[in-house]
Structure 1
Amino acid sequence: MDYIRFLGDSFDYTKEALWGRWVRWLLLLISVVIFPFIYGYGVRVMNGAKPAPELEGWVGLFIDGIKLIIITVVYAIPIWIFAFLPFAAYFIPTSATVTPATGPEPLFDPGMGIVVALGFIALFLVVAIVVGILATFAMVRFSRTGRMREAFRIRALLAHIGKIGWLNCFIALVVLTVAVAIVEFILVLVPIIGAIILLLLMPAFIIFTYRYIALLYESAPAPA
């Protein structure tokens, strides 16, 4: 998989979308604050529009943004659940009482609680990766079809991801995350002005990310 091509294409797409188009840039900055609009614009980017779409049809943008937020929240639920389990695995066993005469005593050795918690942490990482990849493809599938139910056709999503390869998808998303994080980190190191530039570049980061995952989605034909 040509990750460098994904990065290059996404950069060119973002540059064409914003450079010299200051009104669009300003409107996207406002949309970041009223965030359903920026999510709705992301739907249009992930839909494969090229060049980048204009900011129009604001009601549609808002509705699509709300739908995309709902999709991401639903996919985040299992991650939240598994994030809680390590704490429950440690604190529930070690806080239980067994005899009123001696006061509170753990039902299990605290060391065992730690081992169980570490096991749940490992499980959480696996679940987070799997659900994260599924959610990414679900967002694009919704954007391409315009139907929310398509975002939850798990069999179709699994088949699509399988064509590309789970490892390829994971590496592609890591490359994206690292690339964006490096730029953001460099900007944060610049006193005062770096934070301002980072804020101004938020639309660029968002467009870049959505275009990148759209390219990843397109790297294999999506099931009907």
Structure 2
Amino acid sequence: MDYTRLLSDSFDYTKEALWGRWTRWLLLLVSTIIFPLIYGYSVRVMSGTKPAPEPEGWIGLFIDGIKLLVITIVYTIPVWILAVVGFAAYFIPVSVTTTQGTGTAPGPETGIFVLLALLVIFVVLAIVIGLLSTFAVVRFSRTGSVGEAFRFGTLLSHIGSVGWLNVFIALLVMGIVITVVQFVLMLIPVLGGLLVFILTPAFIVFSSRYVALIYESAPAPA
């Protein structure tokens, strides 16, 4: 996978979408406050529309944004469940030790061991779900069907065609680039936070186009 091409194409797409188009930029900036709207615009970008679409049809944008939000929340549920189980696995043995004394009850060491084991599982699961949900939201954007976002067999097959490691590295590169840019901006006294906010539409358009290109790296299954 050509990561440089992904970054370059996404940057050019974002530049064409926003640079000099100040009305569009302002509308998208307002949409970040009413966040389902900016999520809906992200859906349109991920749908493969080129050049970037106008932010219009606000009811449709809002509805698509809500759908995208619901899909994302559903995908995070297993991660939250495992996190709760992990904390319970630690605190329950500690509590038993405290209430029953030393005896034969499991001690803090048992809780720590279980917690570490679950931490490893948690990280792996979070990565898998992160990759899966990325392809899920793009597939939803391409088809307009929420149900398509949960065709796990199809999504797993598509990710396998692109390459799990390729997708992971590509998303990692995107995350690093955006984080570095935001960090540098935050170093600017007084104006740093304001600049990050003003550039929020650019970050969203960039990332939406970027994941769309990853999705297109291999033909999507029917």
TM-score, normalization: structure 2? Answer: 0.97
Structure 1, residues 146-202: CA drift from partner, whole Å, max 9, x if none?
A: 000000000000000000111111101100100100000101111111111111000
Structure 1, residues 98-151: CA drift from partner, whole Å, max 9, x if none?
A: 9xxxx5436202112101100100100000000000000000000000000000
1:34-73 matched pairs, under 5 angstroms = 34-73=34-73
1:70-109 matched pairs, under 5 angstroms = 70-96=70-96, 103-105=99-101, 107-109=105-107
1:16 alignment partner in structure 2? 16
Structure 1, residues 35-76: CA drift from partner, whole Å, max 9, x if none?
A: 000000000000000000001111110110000000000001
CA RMSD in angstroms comes to 1.2
Contact 2:40 / 2:62 at 8 angstroms: preserved in 1? Answer: yes
The separation in 2 between residues aligned to 1:183 and 1:85, in whole angstroms, is 36
SS at match of 1:127: helix
Q: Which runs of 4+ in 1 moved over 6 A?
A: none
Contact 2:97 / 2:106 at 8 angstroms: preserved in 1? Answer: no
The separation in 1 between residues aligned to 2:97 and 2:76, in whole angstroms, is 34
In structure 2, give the amino acid aligned to 1:85: V
The separation in 1 between residues aligned to 2:210 and 2:86, in whole angstroms, is 33
Contact 2:41 / 2:61 at 8 angstroms: preserved in 1? Answer: yes
Offset at residue 26 of structure 1 (A): 0.4
Q: Which moved more, 1:110-119 or 1:211-220?
A: 110-119
State, as a whole percentage, how many aligned pairs show the same letter: 62
SS at match of 2:84: helix
In structure 1, give the amino acid aligned to 2:173: V
The separation in 2 between residues aligned to 1:132 and 1:105, in whole angstroms, is 42
1:194-213 matched pairs, under 5 angstroms = 194-213=192-211
User: Any unmatched runs of 5+ in structure 1?
Assistant: none
Q: Give the counterpart of 1:162 among 123, 138, 160.
A: 160
In structure 2, give the amino acid aligned to 1:165: G
TM-score, normalization: structure 1? Answer: 0.96
User: Any unmatched runs of 5+ in structure 2?
Assistant: none
The separation in 2 between residues aligned to 1:195 and 1:110, in whole angstroms, is 42
In structure 2, give the amino acid aligned to 1:184: Q
